[in-house]
Amino acid sequence: MEKVVKPRADITPHIFKIQRYSIHDGPGIRTTLFFQGCPLSCSWCHNPESQAAPVRIGSQNRDVTAPGQVPISPVQVKDLVEILVREIKKDLIFFDESNGGVTFSGGEPLSNPRLLLPLMDACRQEHIHICLDTSGFAPFTVLKEAATRADLVLYDIKVMDNLAHRALTGKPVDLILENLKKLSDLKINLKLRFPLVPTLTDTQENIGRIIDFLVKETIYRDIHILPFHNTVDGKYRMLKMENHCKHLHPPTDDQVENIQQIFVASGFQTTIGG
C-alpha cells in the first residue's frame, strides 16, 4: 500500500512529497520523490501544489525553469543529498525483492539539476535503480546529464499542436519534441507516457500526429496511456487555484481501449497506467 511521507521542513522547498511503496512510475516497488516547481502548468495537473516555485538551485534559462527561484549554497545541496539518500535507503529491502528503486518526479525534477544530478549520482553509488519522470521541457544539456544517469526515463508526450500545447500547458511543444529526438539518437532507455484527457488530448488528429512523429523521428514504440481522473478538485480548492478540468469526466473503458488499439495498430506496445 502506498504511503505518503511529508519531508522535513528543510526539504519541502525542494521535495514536496515522498511516496513509499509505489507500484507506478517504474518497475517494482518504488520510492518516488516529487520535486517542487514546474515550468509547465498543465490544465489537468494532478499535483498542482508542485507548480509553485522552489528555491533556486540552478542557473538555467528562466524560460525552462520555475520562476522566482533564489540561490542555495553547494553545502546545502550536499546536506540535502545525504538526507534524501538516507530516506531512500530505508526501502532497500523492497527494492531488492521487487527489482524496484527510486523515481524522481514532480513537478519537474530537471528544474533543479544542482540537486537532482548529485542525488542521482549518490543513488548510483548505492546501486539503486533510478527512474526519471519528466515533461522534457528543459535545456538538452540538463536533460542529457540526467537521462544518462537514469536506468529508465518516463517521458510525457501530450499535444502536438504548438498553439494548443501552449494553451493547455503554458509552454510550446517544440523543445519537448526536439529533446525527444535527441534522446532517441542517444538510444536512451525510455518509455513514453500519454495523458488521455477527453476532448483535450484524445482527438484523432492529435493521436495521429503523435504516432507520425514517433515513427518518423524516434526509436520509441512503448507508450503508457494514462487515463485522466478528476479526483484532485479538493487540492485546487485548498490552494485557491482554478481547476480548468473540473467539468471533465474520466474516459470510459471503451474510449481507453479505442485509443489503445490505434497505437497497437501502428506497432506500439501499450500499457494502461503505470
Residues 61-110: tens digit of each pLDDT: 333 334 334 456 777 889 999 999 999 999 999 999 999 999 999 999 99
Residues 5-63: tens digit of each pLDDT: 667 666 767 898 999 999 989 999 999 999 999 999 999 998 888 887 654 443 333 33
φ/ψ of 57, rounded to 5, equals -130, 25
Amino acid 139: pLDDT: 97
- Kindly tell me if the per-residue pLDDT of 201 is higher than 50: yes
Angle at 130 between CA 125 and CA 131, to 5 degrees: 165
Residues 115-129: tens digit of each pLDDT: 999 999 999 999 999
Amino acid at 44: W
Enumerate the domain spans of the chain: 3-272
Closest CA to 95 of 145, 154, 150, 32: 32
- Kindly tell me if the per-residue pLDDT of 2 is higher than 70: no
Residues 130-182: tens digit of each pLDDT: 999 999 999 999 999 999 999 999 999 999 999 999 999 999 999 999 999 99
Are the C-beta atoms of 84 and 12 separated by less than 8 Å?
no
Amino acid 55: pLDDT: 46
Beta bridge partners of 103: 32, 131
Q: Other C-beta atoms within 10 Å of 132: how many?
A: 26
Amino acid 70: pLDDT: 42
3-state secondary structure of 76: helix
* Candidates 3.40.1590.10, 3.20.20.70, 3.40.50.300, 3.40.1440.60; CATH matching 3-272: 3.20.20.70
- Grid coordinates representing 164? 494548443
Angle at 103 between CA 187 and CA 109, to 5 degrees: 80
Where are any strands of DSSP class E within the chain?
A: 3-5, 15-22, 30-35, 101-105, 129-134, 152-156, 190-196, 222-227, 269-272
Instruction: Report the distance separating Cα 192 and Cα 29, nearest Å.
Output: 20
